[in-house]
Amino acid sequence: MTISTGATRRHDPAHWLAFVRAWARDPLRTAAVSPSGTQLARLMVAQLPAVAFAADAPVIELGAGTGVFTQALLDAGVAPQQLLVIELNRDLHRILMRRFPRVRVECADACHIAELAARHGIAGHSVAAVISGLGLLSMPRAVVARVIAASTSLLHPQGRLVQFTYGPFSPVPPALRERHGLRAQRCGVAWRNMPPATVYSYRHAAPAPARPAAAAD
């Protein structure tokens, strides 16, 4: 399913088939058994900070699948040249390349987000948003830690990491948030998604204000 400012379009049968094949081959790396829906895509994109709409602000998408979130980002006003899209599955990668010829699309593991960003001239602390469609809860902890570490190292000071989950709690555990100085916000539930999904936004916690020096006696 794609997102537009007009009527909602239906899933392309070829996209459905490619997604189901990807899930059947590697269910642990695919977050759902169907592409994400309109409501979830809108809720994810609604978390973009204002800096994401600057012409030179990079936005990175992880685990793009058939391009539901990619289309929503473009419809929201993110320019194609701002986007770097990463998808590991080769069949889904080919679909993304056909659907979004003006967008940079890489067939790669999300663990290598920092290296891929550097290859495309994206510097650290410059990324306005990382939009993640990864199934973090089904991924090994070490892999999740690598993805979160690399993603947060790229974020602009006002940047956001946006992630959805089918679980009842934040998919980025407290210890990992504390390690990288992240503050989590539960942004809402896409009840009409199948299955329903909760969206979380993560940003760098503001440093504590400096305490005034004690007056000398």
pLDDT of residue 18: 53
Q: Give a yes or no: residue 154 inside a domain.
A: yes
pLDDT of residue 212: 60
CATH of the domain at 52: 3.40.50.150
Domain that holds residue 92: 29-204
* pLDDT top residue among 5 and 107: 107
Give alpha helix (H) positions in the chain: 13-25, 38-45, 68-76, 90-99, 113-119, 141-154, 174-179
Q: Give a yes or no: residue 85 inside a domain.
A: yes
* pLDDT top residue among 143 and 210: 143
Q: Give a yes or no: residue 44 inside a domain.
A: yes
- For 17, residues 6+ apart whose C-beta sits below 8 A from its C-beta are none
Q: Give a yes or no: residue 9 inside a domain.
A: no
Mean pLDDT computed over 197-215: 77
**CA gap 66, 12 in Å, rounded:** 9
pLDDT of residue 8: 33
Q: Give a yes or no: residue 209 inside a domain.
A: no
Q: Give a yes or no: residue 109 inside a domain.
A: yes
- Token pair for 100: 């979004």
User: Looking at the 3D structure of the chain, how many domains does it have?
Assistant: 1
> Angle of helix 68-76 relative to helix 90-99, nearest 10 degrees?
30
Least confident piece of the model among 10-24, 40-54, 163-177: 10-24
Q: Give a yes or no: residue 82 inside a domain.
A: yes
Which percentage of the chain shows pLDDT scores above 90? 74
Q: Give a yes or no: residue 12 inside a domain.
A: no
Does the pLDDT of residue 76 top 90, yes or no?
Answer: yes
